[in-house]
Structure 1
Amino acid sequence: MSRTPRTPRTLNGMRVLITGASGTIGMALGQHLAAQGARVIGLDLRPRGDEGFEVLACDLTDDASVAAGTQQVLARLGGLDALVNNAGIGGPAPAELAPGAEVRRQLEINLLGAWRVTAACVDALVASRGRVVMVASRMAVMQLPLAAAYGASKRALTAYADALRLEVGTHVGVTCVYPSSIRSPIHDSTAAAGLSLEGMSRYEPISGVLTAIESALVRARPRRDVPTTRRGAVEFFLARHLPAVTDVIVQRTLAGRARSGAFDGAALAAGVVARLGSGSGR
């Protein structure tokens, strides 16, 4: 049975596709890899034009757009050595409310967008014995309240990665990277709805995310799961092995936020405030 090569790789000359390439992580990653000699092309719904590397317009929710975009990338690079599925969006989505357009939007981009792009690139990656990196989230293993769609989409993304690894892992390395919170516009819509999770999650520097992704691309034996900070590694361990402990921590933190008035006036958090707020008697 053929196996993926077990020798370290170099970024110099590596052909890399990054989705969500005009966003905070995607643009920083593309610049970081290109500075080390990688040949980087990105896909994004709305390229900015100042990324510092080539970014093609592509709608990850549209089959035809993904097919056309990935074909352009493969043609321009002459193949593909690495795919970084970075594109993702967030937004308010309490689990107690019926799923609507916001939930469908997050699942469509965060999960199915990555699935479409990977499927379009898998033959090229098998041919090069390449790598796939899924930029997941700490919320894939430790859910936070009021953002159920994001956590569900990222947990589903890691399940997709697991299935992909079983199918193509003899030829392609598949790694999931788990950032915590990065300061970026992804949080804007949640904050605008009055559901900011400030105080429930600690921001981390983007440098750790870039280092984790680079490691997944060049290690001789790519790791299956890669947290991006030491704190993230502890949270990942607890969420995987002691989930009841992390549940208690998150629930207590949520109750404290509700009682402090953090969600007052936020219609989507009315249920949480009624149950946990200062007037709940708890």
Structure 2
Amino acid sequence: MTRTIVTGGSSGLGAAVVDAALKAGDRPFVIDRQAPAGGVPWIECDLADTRAAEAATRKAIAELDGLDAVVTAAGMDVPGRLADVPAETWERILAVDLLAPAAVIRAALPALTDSHGHVVTIASTLGVKAVSDATAYCAAKFGVVGFTRALAAELAGQVGVTLVVPGGMRTRFFDDRDERYKPGPDAVLNDPAAVAAAIMFAIGQPRGCAVRELVICAETETSYP
């Protein structure tokens, strides 16, 4: 039974990971600003506050009595020209999408080292291909790619590390955007359950074997390669 912390586990990809973990008989624990469905144990936390994220992680580990995996699925974006996106919003995107994963993983490392556990970070196809009007999101997700690759080298032989690079998914991620930044009527978005299944595959590798990187997207994804 894998004890797994999932950030952003109340919606989107995070919720799909929680569902997949429950179906596998595992014990997911959510860190988020909203309660997850189905009575899954959780801690309320604004992940943009990295010290709070660290404290929430340590509390979750105590409640789980150890830890086997972390999936940093929380993320946000507010598209727009650099000059038009308020500085506070721009910096919050960096905090939630890049600084929070590092904070959660940092706090989890002692427990993950004890269990020879696994870290899964969530980047984006926009972490390998830059586009206009997404400076904060691209900066954060490019950062996740570099952070995760460096972490994999640092923790080799101690903790498994997997970088997941998903394309667009059918979630509420795009709901609050201006119409010009929403996927077009012909866009084909991937099922988050498919990405969650790949994450579970990575976590389930036997000791000594690690899936380092996975790119997962709809066959007609336009943002990759």
For residues 108 and 79 of structure 1, do their structure 2 counterparts lie closer, same or farther at Cα, with a shift above 3 Å needed? same
Matched, 1:204 2:190: yes
Residue of structure 1 in register with 2:174 after alignment? 187
Q: What one-letter code is carried by the residue in structure 1 that aligns with 2:114? A: A
- Deviation string 1:190-213 (CA, Å, 9 cap, x unpaired) is 335x43342695311122201210
Question: How many residues were matched structurally?
Answer: 223
Which residue among 75, 83, 91 is the counterpart of 2:70?
83
CA contact (8 A) 2:68 2:116 kept: yes
Corresponding residue SS for 1:223:
coil
Residue of structure 1 in register with 2:19 after alignment? 31
Which residue among 8, 15, 20 is the counterpart of 2:8?
20
For residues 101 and 197 of structure 1, do their structure 2 counterparts lie closer, same or farther at Cα, with a shift above 3 Å needed? farther
Uncovered stretches (5+) of structure 2, i.e. residues with no partner: none
For residues 94 and 132 of structure 1, do their structure 2 counterparts lie closer, same or farther at Cα, with a shift above 3 Å needed? same
Structure 1 vs Structure 2 CA RMSD: 2.3
Residue of structure 1 in register with 2:91 after alignment? 104
Take 1:139 and 1:201, find their aligned partners in 2: how far apart are those partners? 16
Q: What one-letter code is carried by the residue in structure 2 that aligns with 1:206? A: P
Residue of structure 1 in register with 2:215 after alignment? 227
Take 1:216 and 1:156, find their aligned partners in 2: how far apart are those partners? 21
Aligned pairs for 1:250-261 (under 5 A) are none
Higher helix share: 1
- The offset of 1:148, in angstroms, is 2.3
Q: What one-letter code is carried by the residue in structure 2 that aligns with 1:135? A: I
Take 1:155 and 1:232, find their aligned partners in 2: how far apart are those partners? 22
CA contact (8 A) 2:81 2:134 kept: yes
- The offset of 1:165, in angstroms, is 1.3
Using the size of structure 1 for normalisation, the TM-score is 0.72
Take 1:232 and 1:219, find their aligned partners in 2: how far apart are those partners? 28
CA contact (8 A) 1:90 1:189 kept: no
CA contact (8 A) 2:168 2:217 kept: no
Which residue among 108, 111, 136 is the counterpart of 1:149?
136
| Higher deviation after alignment, 202-211 or 118-127 | 202-211
For residues 107 and 64 of structure 1, do their structure 2 counterparts lie closer, same or farther at Cα, with a shift above 3 Å needed? closer
Take 2:83 and 2:186, find their aligned partners in 1: how far apart are those partners? 19
- The offset of 1:160, in angstroms, is 0.8
- The offset of 1:72, in angstroms, is 1.6
Take 1:22 and 1:234, find their aligned partners in 2: how far apart are those partners? 28
Corresponding residue SS for 2:5:
strand
Take 1:230 and 1:21, find their aligned partners in 2: how far apart are those partners? 22
Corresponding residue SS for 1:222:
coil
Residue of structure 2 in register with 1:168 after alignment? 155
Take 1:71 and 1:137, find their aligned partners in 2: how far apart are those partners? 27
CA contact (8 A) 2:78 2:177 kept: yes
- The offset of 1:184, in angstroms, is 2.2
CA contact (8 A) 1:93 1:149 kept: no
Q: What one-letter code is carried by the residue in structure 1 that aligns with 2:201? A: S
For residues 232 and 101 of structure 1, do their structure 2 counterparts lie closer, same or farther at Cα, with a shift above 3 Å needed? farther
- Considering only CA atoms, is the larger Rg found in Structure 1 or Structure 2? 1
Take 1:191 and 1:202, find their aligned partners in 2: how far apart are those partners? 19
CA contact (8 A) 1:82 1:130 kept: yes
Q: What one-letter code is carried by the residue in structure 2 that aligns with 1:216? A: A
Which residue among 112, 117, 121 is the counterpart of 2:104?
117
Uncovered stretches (5+) of structure 1, i.e. residues with no partner: 1-12, 239-282
Using the size of structure 2 for normalisation, the TM-score is 0.89
